[in-house]
Amino acid sequence: MLIRKSNFAEHYPWVLASSVVLALAVVWFIFASVGHAEWPSGSSLPGFTFGVIGGLICLFEFLIWPRKKLRSWRIGKVSTWMRAHIWLGILAVPLLVLHTGFRWGGPLSTTLMTLFLLVIASGVWGLILQQFLPEKMLKEVPAETIFSQIDYVSDLMAGEASQLVRSVCNITSDSDDAEKFSDGSHIVVGAVRNTGAIQGRVVVTSSLQESVPDSKPLYDFFNEHIYGFLKNGEMAKSPLQNPPRAHSMFNSLRTKLPPRAHEVVTVLEDLCNQRRQIITQAKIQFWLHSWLWVHLPLSVALIVLMFVHVFVAMKYW
């Protein structure tokens, strides 16, 4: 969820309400401690109340999971749930710290507090990433593709490029790639183009090139650098991953080829550019989602342990 100056009005009521609750809690806590040598514990009236409110907030926080999975329930807008999730989650931190009376307690309550703080920290980290990664993706990955299709798209690019190079370099072979991607006389090249203000990946069909004499350097360059990079991306550890380096390598390749082969070099350069974007996309998507692998399992553990804590606390009260 984005938190910007422009949409802060939607967050403001949550910030205000949380601040008021927090201020009242702090005042109550301070009044309850006057005349006592120690801070009020979790079993004092204010401590117990903050524990109950904090615990209910944790339960509510967890409910965002079923709410997201069962969108057909339509209990409130997801964006409202998300705002409540963020601000109530943050409010729960001081409330539960007051509940502890600034003590870690035994192993169970220490584990519970550690889990809680890790869930909060991972949530805040995820929220921070959500503030800039989607924008970075829009800017740096105009050729964004469907995440689950990245391997397929990469294979397709490598196959198309291979077919193009073979036809220009007049290599006749019945390799799998050539057959798989051939429709006879055209190949399909996904290129990044501007249409008005919109930039994105468009499909361009390019007629198969006539063979160009003396284009062996193209074939060698393709085999040495391009094919592996298009197919395996970062794993190929290719210098083509670096844009200025790639640019100068393609320029030097052009100088070794007859002008008739230059158009193909441009197509290959474009494909490498798209492959670089796919690498960036995979990285951004990794960072956008990986924190949930911490946030979600730890929040499940938190809820389970919270019930154990309540049970144990009530039993020995």
**List of residues contacting ligand HEM (CB under 6 A):** 58, 61-62, 64-65, 68, 85-86, 89-90, 92, 116, 119-120, 123-124, 126-127, 130, 292, 295-296, 299, 302
The CA distance from 238 to 249, in Å, is 12
Q: How far is the CB of 313 from ligand HEM (least distance, A)?
A: 18
Beta carbon nearer to ligand HEM, 129 or 236: 129
- The percent helix, strand, coil of the chain (3-state, each to 5) is 75, 5, 20
- Nearest-approach distance from CB 130 to ligand HEM, in angstroms: 6
Tell me whether residue 132 is exposed, middle or buried, using C-beta atoms within 10 angstroms of its C-beta: 0 to 12, 13 to 18, 19 or more.
exposed
Least distance from ligand HEM to the Cβ atom of residue 148, Å: 17
| Residue from 22, 21, 40 nearest 32 by CA | 40
Cβ proximity to ligand HEM, 51 vs 123, nearer residue: 123
Burial letters for 4-32: b for 16+ Cβ neighbours within 10 Å, e otherwise?
Answer: eeeeeeeeeebeeebeeebeebeebbeeb
For ligand HEM, give the closer residue by CB, 90 or 249.
90
C-alpha distances in angstroms, 225 versus 170, 220, 266? 19, 8, 15
Identity (one letter) of the amino acid at 302? L
- Shortest spacing between CB 138 and ligand HEM, in angstroms: 17
Nearest to 153 by CA among 286, 288, 284, 277: 277
Among residues 112 and 265, whose Cβ is nearest to ligand HEM?
A: 112
CB of 47 to ligand HEM, least distance (A): 18
Beta bridge partners of 187: 206
Is the Cβ of residue 68 or residue 216 nearer to ligand HEM in the bound state? 68
Q: In this complex, which beta carbon is closest to ligand HEM, that of residue 108 or of residue 292?
A: 292
Residue 213 Cβ vs ligand HEM, minimum distance, rounded to whole Å: 57
